[in-house]
Structure 1
Amino acid sequence: MPIKVSVIVPVYDPGRYIEDCVASLLGQSLPPDAYEIVFVDDGCTDATPALLDALAAEDPRVRVVHQENSGWPGKPRNVGIEAARGEYVMFVDADDQLGAEALERMYDYGVANDADIVVGRMAGKGGAVPVELFRTNRPRATVENAPLIDSLTPHKMVRRAFLDRTGLRFPEGRRRLEDHVFVIEAYLRADNVSVLSDYVCYYHVRRDDAANVSLQRFDPVGYFKNLREALDVVERYTEPGPLRDRLFRRWLRVEMVERLRGTRFLDLPEDYRRELFEEIRTLVVERFGPGVAAALQPTQRVVAALVADGRYDDVVAFARWEAGVGLAVEPRDVEWRGGLLRIVFAAELTHDGGPMAFPAAGDRPQWPPRDVAEAVRWLGLDTAERFDRASPDLLLRERGGAARYFQPVRTERERIASADGNRVRLVLHGTAVVDPATAVSGSPPPEGLWDVWVRVGLGGWTKEHRLGPAPRHGSPAPPAGVVADRVVLPYWTDRHAGLALDVGHASERLGLGRVAAGDVTLGGDRGERFHVILPLHVPEAAAVLLRLTEAKSGSSHEIFGTLAPGGRLDAVLPVGDLGGRTWLTTVCLTPDADGARFHPLPFALHVGPDGVLVVPAPQPGGLRRTARRARRAAYRALGRLTVRGK
């Protein structure tokens, strides 16, 4: 079989992190003979080269290229490109991981859309990743119709023929932003770019030792010298005008303005802050026309204006004020409605722990503002004017993998005036609907724990907060729902009192232990018709599997029953096969699901000569005693408890 994908991994002293990376690469769903893994050892000084050589000797998919240390990842990636034999190449860092189906999905998507570049959905384990880019699949994306510019890391699948046709390679040597230079040119020269958003393909892993190259403090002079090379690429392939300004705006926003805001800026040493500010100011004045900053978000526009004017002290003062901005989220209601989880919440910006108040009206201060107080007033008026377009997002975030998925939200906006009418609070009210059948890009969420977050973009701030704490009135979370062939339990976490969803893992929290023996109804001549109400949300009837395990021997019978709306469980017991023994009861609520689990019910069934008696489930070590008591109780209670509801 021709090789479909060559995975290129530059390696330099990754330590233990490469083990998870290797496991994710070898565990791909793509057939083993359809892909290869090319590790480029860039002069490692640890035990990694020997590990990789041993791996290559055992697995024909793995090849290793050894070379002297080149400084940074550009040359190893280029060496990997030259060694690659695949139709596409996929760039992976040695401390990151791929989703199990990443290569197969990305390759198939690229072929289906004739894409030169495939950008797979990313998730950050400890770090930030693009969000807006992955709201939906984008089979034909460009820098003009999609926020591709938000993703400039190299972790993409690229057609080898495209690289050969264009001669595109990474800048080499000890330098920063080599990936920006490569990726922006690839975007601008590709015939088609496809964005795959309905599956997490790439996991960025933040190392505990903070050794990721991208997280290390940089030399501002060298950094912004390298950044100019990315700007040169944009100028080479675009004309002056709105598109070029929009692309330049990404670097102004992310690499410059955001570095000068809030605690991120204030936490830097004073001398480094000044050096960073001066280098940014030089580049802003040198390369960016007025159209670049004009469309920034309001807070970013304030910082950019202060930088352009060389007002370092005001940038510091504004950062101190902005450090107090936060987000408060209040859950109002969480309930099931016909198999959908309805979540009602309110959200508003805060400052120094209290609700943020904005000017109700007034004239705009001059631009640029003369001082920080004037900047704050300008910002407040602008934010209040834009409020009618603001909407909150509700996201499900996978706790283990950090993937985030948007849920549909209906928005209402409220302005709350102060007593004197001069100030106003801006409150967003959201009603979100989580459909367990489609919540993850049109598919059900995988088993695991999912946290509920609210994201608000307003005034140039983008803030995220767990949906919590739990409502003040102590309203419990709704019961578990048996929906979309899975058990979904909403609950308030113990640590943060935030809302979370347990998909397929919960047992004790399901509340089945609250069902008492007296809640069971038996019908029929010998009590063979079994009925009990379980504390579950069941939107439509579904099959369940009841397992009866003999208390003494451990032998078991499994019978199918029906779980109806209202949580009513009905089954017909094979009384003739159960006589004279006591049976523990467990129920599988989703028998058709992979890895289905049985949940214990807090009662046992004793079957005597005259019928069935329901007794409390025995405690560990008390099975024989419980069976004897059940037999005695059955004879004493004949006619009263043996058959109930006949």
Structure 2
Amino acid sequence: MPVKVSVIVPVYNPGTYIEDCVSSLLRQSLPPDEYEVIFVDDGSTDGSPARLDALAAENSRVTVVHQENSGWSGKPRNVGIAAAVGEYVMFVDNDDYLGDEALERMYDYAVANGADVVVGKMAGRGRPVPVELFRQNHPHATVENAPLIDSLTPHKMFRREFLDKIELRFPEGRRRLEDHVFVTEAYLRADGVSVLSDYVCYYHVKRDDAGNAGFQRFDPVGYFKNLREALDVVEQYTEPGPLRDRLFRRWLRNEMVERMRGRRLLALPDDGYRRQLFEEIRGVVVERFGPGVAGGLPPTQQVIAALIAADRFDDLVAFATWEAGIAPTAAPLDVQWHGDALRIALSAEYASGGEPMTFPADGRATPLENPPRDAAAAAAWVVADTVAAFEKATVDLLLRERSSAAQYFQPVKFTRESVAAGADGRVRLVLHATATVDPATAAGGAPLGGGLWDVFIRVKLGGWTKECRLGPVPRAGQTATSPAVAGGRVVLPYWTKPPGNLALDVDRATKRLGLTRLTAADVTVSGGLLRAPLPLHVPAETKVLVRLTAGSVIDVPGLLSPAPDGSGAVLEAELPAADVRGSAWRVQLSVAPGADEPRFLTLPLVLRVRAGRILARRAAGASLARRLARRTRRTLGTMLGKWTSGFTARKA
């Protein structure tokens, strides 16, 4: 078979961090003879060269190239391109990894859409990744109709013929932002770019030792010299006007303004480095950007850009101090199952200094005084503009898988409300939202995978786009809602440990499902029909599998139905009385009977046949566990009481 994809991995002293990368590449769903992996060792001094040579000796699809250290990733990637034989090349960093189906999905998507470049959905484990770009699939994206420019890392799939045709290679040597130069030109010269958003293809990982090349403190002079080269590419392939301004805005926003705002600026060492960085940024702003570039930024970023251009460093620091105290809050109002979906009602707004942020009720949008006379005037302008633009405020709900950071937008409906805040005529700007989470489609149209999913709220209000967790839960409602059977999985909404944020447990919970509360008195067996009430939400009759175990295994079909009184579900299963004689049979339940490896939940029941009748009693282990739990709670309560009394006596 011809090679469809060549994966190119530059390697420099990754240590054990390369293992996840290697594993993900070897378990790709694309057939082994349809892709190759080329590791380019850039003069590593750890054990990586020997590790990779051994890997290549065992795997015909793996090639290793050794070279002297070049100082950065550009040359190793170019060497990999020269060695590649695949129709497409895919760049992966040695401390990142791919989703198991990434190569197959991205290649098929590229062929289906005739793409020169495919941008696969990214997840950031401790690292920021684009969010808006991956709201939905975009088979025919351009820099004009999609925020492609938000993603300039090289971790994409490129048609090899396209790279050769336009003679595109990475800048080499000890430098920064070589990927910006390469990817920007690819976007601007490609005949087709496709964005694949319904599957997480690339996991961008921050190393625990912060050893990623991009996390090292950089030389501002060299960094912004290299940044100018990316701007040169934009100027070469675009005409002056709105499009060029919009593309330039990406570097102004991400590489300059965002470094000079809020907590990020205040966290920079105040040993001269902060000021040096400011001076280099100011040089680019004054030299390269016309008024149309900053004019399209949100209000807060416009203010920062104006203060940079006017050489107002002290006001910039003061404005950052004010902005650092602003954060979004999201309060849960109701979490309930409605049919197959979970409905989450919430309110969201911004807080300042830990208190709800208030605004003048008559805020008006006015042209920015360029620059504002001081930090206080800058803050006042942002606040007034936020009120005036409130009708454009939005709120989103995202589910983020805890272990991988894969995240997906959920459908949301919302309204906006100005709430009176005191007698001085000020108001709070509040967004009221209801999100719908259907576990069968919540992962970009696919079912949620097993694991823990945290709920995040993304608020766009005025000059800010910020995220927060949904919580804390009010003291009056410590449980979210009942677990549900949805899409062949058991989904438990729950509140995390204090402060108590909403999360979803998919196919992992056991004790928290409440199954242990089932007693023998709740269960009936009549004519061989087992009926047991379970604290599970089921929207409709659902086929399940009941497993009986007593040395041997008996599987029988079952049915979960909504309880008539709405209290949960009723399990029904026809038991084979002739087959269950002579032993005590434990009862287990699987809500995904058709799965290759179904997951079973253990019910606290034992079944026996006596006098021709099947009787149910509570399993001894379950009763013991409940007694031990009660005893532990009593013991802890007694100990706490004695400790408190002793402490009070000593204090007196």
Matched, 1:459 2:462: yes
Q: Following the alignment from structure 1 to structure 2, what is the Cα–Cα distance between the partners of residues 326 and 511?
A: 36
Paired residue type of 2:182: F
CA distance in 2, matches of 1:543, 1:613: 24
Amino acid at match of 2:430: V
Partner of residue 229, structure 2: 229
Q: 1:122, 1:343 → 2: CA distance? A: 26
Kept after mapping to 2: 8 A contact 1:487/1:590: no
What does 1:345-364 align with in structure 2 at a 5 Å threshold?
Answer: 345-361=346-362, 364=366
Match of 1:26 in 2: 26
The 2-side partners of 1:610 and 1:27 are apart by: 53
Question: Matches of 1:185 and 1:64 in 2, distance apart?
Answer: 28
Aligned partner of residue 251 in structure 2, secondary structure: helix
Counterpart of 1:571 (choices 565, 570, 573) is: 573
Q: 2:46 aligns to what SS in structure 1?
A: coil
Q: What CA deviation, in whole Å up to 9, does each residue of 1:168-191 have, x standing for no partner?
A: 000011000000000000000000
User: 2:503 corresponds to which letter in structure 1?
Assistant: A
Contact 2:393-2:462 at 8 Å conserved across structures: no
1:420, distance to aligned residue in structure 2 (A): 2.2
**Residue 298 of structure 1: aligned partner:** 299
Residues 365 and 83 of structure 1: is their aligned pair in 2 closer, same or farther, counting only changes over 3 Å? closer
State whether structure 2 residue 14 is matched by structure 1 residue 14: yes
Match of 1:619 in 2: 621
Matched, 1:399 2:402: yes
> Equivalent residue for 1:433?
436
Q: Which amino acid aligns with 1:252?
A: L
- Are 2:128 and 1:128 equivalent residues in the alignment? yes
**Change in 2 beyond 3 A, CA 1:66/1:580:** closer
The amino acid of 1:334's aligned partner reads V
Cα deviations by residue, 1:174-211 (Å, 9 ceiling, x for unpaired): 00000000000000000000000011000011011111
Cα distance, 1:495 vs. partner?
A: 4.8
C-alpha deviation, 1:365, in angstroms: 8.0
Offset at residue 610 of structure 1 (A):
4.3
Letter paired with 1:612:
I
Q: Matches of residues 410-489 of structure 1 in structure 2 within 5 Å? A: 410-489=413-492
Local SS of the residue matching 1:124? strand
Q: How far apart are the structure 1 equivalents of 2:545 and 2:99?
A: 33
Pick closer, same or farther for the CA change 1:394–1:255 going to 2, 3 Å. Answer: same
Alignment partners' CA distance in 2, 1:115 and 1:337? 41
The change in CA–CA distance for 1:441 and 1:375 in structure 2 (over 3 A counts) is: same
Shift in Å, 1:355: 0.6
Equivalent pair of 2:545/2:555 in contact (CA under 8 Å): yes
Counterpart Cα distance in 2 of 1:232 and 1:584: 71
Letter in 1 for 2:418: R
Q: Distance in 1 between matches of 2:615 and 2:488?
A: 32
Contact 1:486 1:593 in 2 (8 A): no
Question: 2:435 corresponds to which letter in structure 1?
Answer: A
CA distance in 1, matches of 2:422, 2:324: 27
Matched, 1:43 2:43: yes
CA deviations on 1:87-129 (whole Å, 9 max, x unpaired) are 0000011011010010011001001111000000000111110
**Equivalence for 2:609:** 607
Q: Residue 385 of structure 2 corresponds to which residue in structure 1?
A: 382
Query: C-alpha separation between the residues in 1 aligned to 2:394 and 2:478?
Result: 26
Distance in 2, matches of 1:608 and 1:366, equals: 86
2:187 maps to 187
Q: Residues 116-265 of structure 1: matches in 2 within 5 Å?
A: 116-265=116-265
Which AA in structure 1 matches 2:426?
A: R
In 2, the alpha carbon distance for the partners of 1:258 and 1:548 equals: 60
Q: Deviations over 1:464-521 (max 9, x none)?
A: 1111112332252211111112111111112541111111122111111111111112
| Cα distance change, pair 546–375 in 1 and its aligned pair in 2 (3 A) | same
* CA apart distance, 1:20: 1.1
2:588 equivalent in structure 1:
586
Normalising by structure 2, we get a TM-score of 0.93
Aligned residue in 2 for 1:509:
512
Q: Distance in 2 between matches of 1:327 and 1:437?
A: 29
Alpha-carbon offset, residue 354 of structure 1: 0.6
Is contact 2:516-2:622 (8 Å) kept? Answer: no
Aligned position for 2:558? 561
Question: What is the one-letter code of the residue matched to 1:416?
Answer: V
1:611 positional shift: 1.6
CA contact (8 A) 2:604 2:622 kept: no
Whole-angstrom distance in 2 between the partners of 1:307 and 1:108: 46
Deviations 1:206-246 (A, max 9, x none): 01111111111111111111000000000000000000000
Are the aligned partners of 1:393 and 1:406 in contact in 2 as well (CA < 8 Å)? yes
1:43-71 Cα shifts (integer Å, max 9, x gaps): 11111111111111111101111111111
Structure 1 residues 502 and 136, CA gap change in structure 2 (3 angstroms): same
Q: Give deviations 1:17-42, integer Å, cap 9, x for gaps.
A: 11111111111111111011111111
Counterpart-to-counterpart distance in 2, 1:574 and 1:257: 71
Structure 2 gaps, min length 5? 564-568, 625-652
Q: Aligned partners of 1:214, 1:45: CA distance in 2, in Å?
A: 19
**Contact 2:138–2:196 (CA under 8 A) maintained in structure 1:** yes
Measured after TM superposition, the shift of residue 522 of structure 1 is 2.6
- Matches of 2:368 and 2:219 in 1, distance apart? 36
**Do the aligned residues in 2 keep the contact of 1:587 with 1:599 (CA within 8 Å)?**
yes
CA contact (8 A) 1:365 1:378 kept: no
How does the TM-score come out when normalised to structure 1? 0.93
| AA of the residue aligned to 2:299 | P
Q: Equivalent residue for 1:57? A: 57
Q: Do the aligned partners of residues 539 and 351 (structure 1) sit closer, same or farther apart at CA in structure 2, a change above 3 Å counting?
A: same
User: 1:543 Cα deviation (Å)?
Assistant: 1.4
1:643 corresponds to: none
**C-alpha deviations, 1:137-165, integer Å up to 9, x for none?**
01000000000000000001000000110
Q: Distance in 2 between matches of 1:620 and 1:152?
A: 55
Q: CA deviation at 1:589?
A: 2.1
Cα gap change, 1:53 to 1:570, in 2 (>3 Å): same
Stretches of structure 1 that go unaligned for 5 or more consecutive residues are: 623-646
Structure 1 residue 591, shift from structure 2 partner:
1.2
Residue 72 and residue 541 in structure 1: after superposition, are their counterparts in 2 closer, same or farther (change >3 A)?
Answer: same
- 448-457 vs 417-426, which deviates more? 417-426
Change (3 A) 1:45 1:316: same
What secondary structure, in the 3-state scheme, does the structure 2 residue paired with 1:581 have? coil
Equivalent position of 2:642 in the other structure: none
1:288 and 2:289 matched:
yes
Q: Offset at 1:362?
A: 5.1
Letter in 1 for 2:285: V
